[in-house]
Structure 1
Amino acid sequence: PQKLPITVLSRCLQFNLKNLAPSLIAEFVADILVKENVPSESDALWQIAMAASGSMRDALTLTDQAISYCEGSVLTAGVTEMLGVPPQHQITRLLEAMASRDVSLIVELVQLIGEQTPDYQHTLDALLSMLHRIALAQIAPDTVDNSVGDLEKVVELASQLTAEDVQLYYQIGTKGREDLKLAVEMRSAFEMVLLRMLVFSPNYTAPKPAIAAVKSSDSEANEKKKSPLASALQTNPASEVQVPPRDITHHAGSVPEQDQESQHEAVAYSAEGNDQMTPSNWVNVYPKLQLTGISANIMANCELVSATDDAIEFLLGEAHSAVFNDDAPAKVEPAFEKFLGKKVAIRISIGTTRSETPAARKIRINQELQAKRVSDFENDSMVLELQKKFGGKVVVESIVENNVVSRVESAAESGHGQV
């Protein structure tokens, strides 16, 4: 057989090229700009490296465009405007505001992003990328790279946010990407995603409503208490709320029946208990320490073993040891000093807890309250009447706190109706 022409062979070559890390691209571009005597800023080079998506050719093309756009230099402000992406420090400030639960600052930052680089889809993607690196920093700090040149800030945010919040924020943000595509107004949709992250957080505390609003709605509230289902039928159709299947544990020492407001106070650990630092009273003392971030997560899963005038010993459950490090005791000592009015040494060991921790108590009370909500709903006169009349059943997983909404599935021959 005759040999294939070289022109044909040249088209049969295949190269398996790998994407370059942003750090390598930024370093190489910086070296070129130094040799070419072109002024540049580090943050601008990182933006170019991220936008290149692993391609050195694209990075060099973007660098040429940036030099022209910035009139002979590569500056962060110019590159950000050219690429239409938010600066990394804005994403960092946004997460700091979420960690401090400062809603006013969050809205202000969203407005600033809208004025400078209104690419909310890219902003949300950058936020999700940052949350992913924060989650790694909390569980496996050694695996976090410095791909955007902000490793120190990532570690700092990892100590400010709880692991539970980070996972929740990431999940809501991922779902929010679809909301942005369907939204009529991008900014409001982006704000709603951020507000959803805060409101759905386990540590969220709703602000107290205005007194006037409370007075005007007293009559409506009284009507709602008469029948949960009547309230659901009289109001506008509510969106279905998905909650995990119930896993209710009954305890002999369960809390007495309370109205809804006092139940909320029980879940939030009412501050009316005494301040004695004893094993049995630790669940009452914990919320008064006002801990945040990883420190709050660690101490909430600890049981108090012993306490003396100058030292307090805790035991952290093995299931939560991944978030513990040697610096944890020193970080919580100032909170104990402020609460007790004196310096004490905090010692934390890891093992199997035997008594109820603050976190376990919160879960137990939530389960007991949910069990009571389900019982009240299932025994409601209107619910029983509808079940008897239409042969339906209550989907207990749809019964949620405050706004009690339940789907009643009809078993009639005509089909499965829903109320």
Structure 2
Amino acid sequence: MTYQVLARKHRPQNFKEVVGQEHVVQALVNGLDNNRLHHAFLFTGTRGVGKTTLARVLAKSLNCLEGVSSQPCGTCRHCVEIQQGDFIDLIEVDAASRTGVDDTRSLLDNVSYAPNKGLYKIYLIDEVHMFSKSSFNALLKTLEEPPEHVKFLLATTEPEKLPITVLSRCLQFNLKRLTEKQISDYLAEILQREALDFEEKALQLVARVADGSMRDALSLLDQSLAFGGNKLVYDEVRTMLGTVQQSHVVELLSLIISGDKSGVVDKLDWFHAMSTDYGQLLEELSRLLHEIALTQSLKKVTGGGAFEIAELKKLAQQLSAERGQLYYQFVVVGLEQMRTVPDKKISFEMTIIRMLDFDVISEQPGSPQGDGSSHKKTVQTQPGQNSEKSRSEKAGKAKSTNSAQVKEKLLSPASTRHVNLSDLSNENWPEVFKNLPLKGMARELARNLMVLENNNNTIIFALDAAVEPFKTQKSMAKLNQILAAEQQNYQLQFTVRERVSSVAKKQAEADKKNIEQRQQDKDPVVEALQERFDATIINEKIG
């Protein structure tokens, strides 16, 4: 007998066998039992979660010879034919291969005719989002008012591509991604039915790689059994999938925590020699850091991802919570960069280098916020010095000290590049702007702003009307994020003015003045006068 893949052999044949879609099953069962049957059903969700399976079970429930019921017998001629794909009144259509309007019209030509065998003629259209606009228009009228003997069952992975006119005519069910536990439990049940040996860790690995799709999990299970000779062994599954054993990930993180750079280099060389998938390696590292964070913050030791609980507890003691969060951010950034860099090895190694070279800076007891006396300065005057001059110097130094303190407070390292918005004004805005890590539209927006008001936890910025296009939702949100306005309970407001004393305006005026000065210096008459009388130019003007 020809071998049948597990995904087809163990496809659910009734609603009780469907895994992980209780919210959809309950609605369908109640509708069938109470005779509240809609004429069009739309099943949405990612691949391999049961859209087509539920549609076929529903078709079986509608056409079972024992009557419409939520529990089809599964043994009558109609149920068997539907299960085998031979039922003449179940018309299955792959919309991806029949996208044209002519295909749709020919499909609907027979809608008005009564079913040949069953109680209902059922149109099961898979990947319906692939229909063309003309095909949807041809379908609309029939979908809105079909004959009593017709039911439409639509399935798609991309419901956002469907016209709103189609969505409004259907009863929509959104199928959820399956959890790793739901997948691993179902795989274990199948392997027990097949009388095959397996390791629990191997099932967990297959369930994790399946990423919420039961069909993907069953396909991987088929592949793993073929690779392992009808046995599911963790090491063999890991070798087949090309994943790294968790002990190597734990060892790498331990070396990073201890700062053993030579050990890290040796480990990186080993990964390179083993032709490791660096993307999967960073994903495993992120899972490990997540488990450590759960252990530290929530006291929840799950041992998920096949990590040993004893190792997780040990790492949780060695790694501070702050460094763990920092490492996790580095790993996430590394994963994002891998999508754009040509060499994943470089992105992975740069991530590890960041983890080695950067650390969390904690506020020391002797910081300016903790002890103001450490920043006090004593000003001494020479004997016989003019008292008025002395007072003037003191006042100037005091003003300079206050300005420096405000600047230091605004741009304190302890605030992780965030500014203290309570002291923000138009006078210190240019200095603050220089230190903001902005670029693109957000930087141009900030460069053309001036601070109008700073009262009651609200800062009103004025924008030059000539550059109003820089005022976009994205650039304003970026400036709000960099200034950490929400964290400080501040609200940023933006208004447009004709004349704004912004950083850009001041810089343009300074550049214009410098150009004029250079042109004046190059004037032949001025140069002749300077040379003849040994004169110098006085830049200050009266009036």
TM-score band, normalised by shorter chain: 0.3 to 0.5
Larger Rg: 2
TM-score, normalised to structure 1's length? 0.47
Relative contact order (C-alpha < 8 Å, sep 6+): which is higher?
Answer: 1
TM-score, normalised to structure 2's length? 0.37
